[in-house]
Amino acid sequence: MDGYLDRLSRTFSDHRVQLVTAAVAASAATASAMWGTRHIQRRQRARKLKKDTVFGDDSQTQARQVTKHTPISLTPNEESLIREQLARHYAFLGDDGMKRLRDSFVVVVGAGGVGSQDYVLDCIDNMDTKLDLIMYCKKHNLPVISAMGAGMKSDPSRVQIADIGDTFEDPMSRAGVESGVKVIYSTEKPGKVGLEQPGDFSVLPDFRVRIVPVLGTMPAMFGIAMGTHILTELAGFPTDPLAIKGRNALYARLHRELGNREHQLWMSPDDVGYILEEIWRGKSAISGSTDKLALVRWKRDLPMTTHNCIVMTKKEADEHEKIEGNPEDVYPAGIIAFINERFEEERRLSQLR
C-alpha cells in the first residue's frame, strides 16, 4: 500500500500531470455550470409560458382575437407555403378566384361562428330554428344554403343541389319556404322505420329523433357537397346545379313528343335526357325557361342529331316549326351565337368519348 501511494505521489508531482488534471477539472466544472444554468432557464420559461396561457392579461387576449376586418399579414415564406399547399386549388380556380375565396367569411350555423358573413351554411336539426334562419337570411339578403334530412338515406348518387322550389322528394324541403333558397337534399325516398312513439326519444320537441337510422357517410357527403358549392360560388367559378325532379318521366314524355314531331326517330329516352341535361342544361335555348319543355329539330334541312336538336318550351317549339328557311335569319344574333356555341361544345366533347 505504501508503495502504491508513493508511486501515485510521484505521478502527481509531475508538472505536466498537474496541468492536465487542472484542465479536466476546470472543463467539468464549466460544463456542469452551463448545464445547470440552461436547465434552470428552461424551467423558468416553461413556468412563464404556462402562466401566460392560463392567466394571460385581457389586452393580450384581445390582441389575439381575429375578426373579418382584422388584417392578417404573412411573411413571404408563409405565403409561399400556403400557395404550395393550395397549388391545385389555384390551378383550378385561378388567382382571382382564390383571392375572393381567401377574403371571404363563411359561418356554419350549428358549429359556431359570428360576424358579417359572405355565406351561411344551414346545418340545423330543429325545423323551427331552421326556418327562422332561412327567413332571416332571405330578409337580409344573405346567401344561404340549407342541408335537408339525411336520415334513412343511403344512395350517394341521389344527392342534389337545387332551389327549394325545384324539390319535392324531401318532406322538410318545402316546409314554409317556397323558393329562393338553395338546398342540398336527396331524391331518395325515406325508408319505412317502425317506431312506436318516436317523439319519446327526442332530446327536445321538434329536434331530430336519435333512433332514426342514419348512415354515417351520408351527412358527410352533404357537407362535402355544400363546401364544394360554396368554394365555387365565392371564387366566382361557374357551375350550373341540375334540378332533379321527376326526370325519368320527363325524358319519356319528351321522347314521345319528339317522336310525334319526327317521322323517324333513332333516339332513346336516355339520348333525350342527355340532350336536355348535358347540352342545354335543362333550359330552353331561346328563353332559358324550365317549364313545359320540348325538343325540336333546329334546322329542318339537316338530319336529327345531337348537333341539330335544341330545347324550347312547347309554345316556342310550335312557333319554330312554322319557320321556313334558315332559323338564323329569324332569331336574334345573341341566341344564334349561344346555340352555335353549345353545338360546338358538344362536337368537341363527342370526339373525346
What's 111's domain CATH number? 3.40.50.720
Average pLDDT over residues 212-216: 70
- Residue-wise pLDDT for 101-137, tens only, equals 888 877 766 554 455 567 888 888 777 888 888 888 8
d(CA 80, CA 86): 10
Q: Is the pLDDT of residue 192 over 50?
A: no
Q: 317: which 3 cell numbers?
A: 317549339
H/E segment holding residue 220: helix 217-235
User: 31 lies in a domain?
Assistant: yes
* pLDDT value for 193: 47
Same domain, 144 and 229: yes
Assess contact for 326 and 308: CB atoms under 8 A.
no
Same domain, 20 and 41: yes
Same domain, 229 and 255: no
User: 99 lies in a domain?
Assistant: no
Model pTM?
Answer: 0.48
Assess contact for 244 and 162: CB atoms under 8 A.
yes
User: 279 lies in a domain?
Assistant: yes
* pLDDT value for 164: 78
Same domain, 319 and 274: yes
Average pLDDT over residues 249-264: 86
**Which domain covers residue 288, as residue numbers?**
247-352
User: How many H helices and E strands in the chain?
Assistant: 11, 7
Confidence of residue 17 (pLDDT cuts 50, 70, 90): low
Same domain, 215 and 278: no
Alpha-carbon distances of 270 from 278, 285, 329, rounded to whole Å:
11, 20, 32
Displacement of CA 128 from its chain's centroid (Å): 25
Confidence of residue 310 (pLDDT cuts 50, 70, 90): very high
* pLDDT value for 201: 44
* pLDDT value for 69: 67
d(CA 171, CA 189): 10
User: 259 lies in a domain?
Assistant: yes
H helices present in 68-205, as ranges: 76-85, 87-102, 127-139
Same domain, 260 and 312: yes
- Residue-wise pLDDT for 44-81, tens only, equals 877 777 666 555 555 454 555 656 666 677 888 888 88
Quote the percentage of the chain above a pLDDT of 70: 73
* pLDDT value for 340: 92
Same domain, 260 and 317: yes
User: 76 lies in a domain?
Assistant: no
> Which of the residue ranges 35-49, 66-80, 322-336 would you say has the lowest mean pLDDT?
66-80
Same domain, 122 and 157: yes
User: 82 lies in a domain?
Assistant: no
Q: Is the pLDDT of residue 313 over 70?
A: yes
Rounded to the nearest integer, the mean pLDDT of the chain is 77
- Residue-wise pLDDT for 133-156, tens only, equals 888 888 888 888 888 878 777 788
Same domain, 223 and 286: no
Same domain, 7 and 51: yes
Same domain, 55 and 152: no
Average pLDDT over residues 189-196: 51
Q: Is the pLDDT of residue 311 over 90?
A: yes
User: 156 lies in a domain?
Assistant: yes
Same domain, 223 and 328: no
Of 83 and 8, the structure prediction assigns the larger pLDDT to 83
Total domains in the chain come to 3
User: 257 lies in a domain?
Assistant: yes
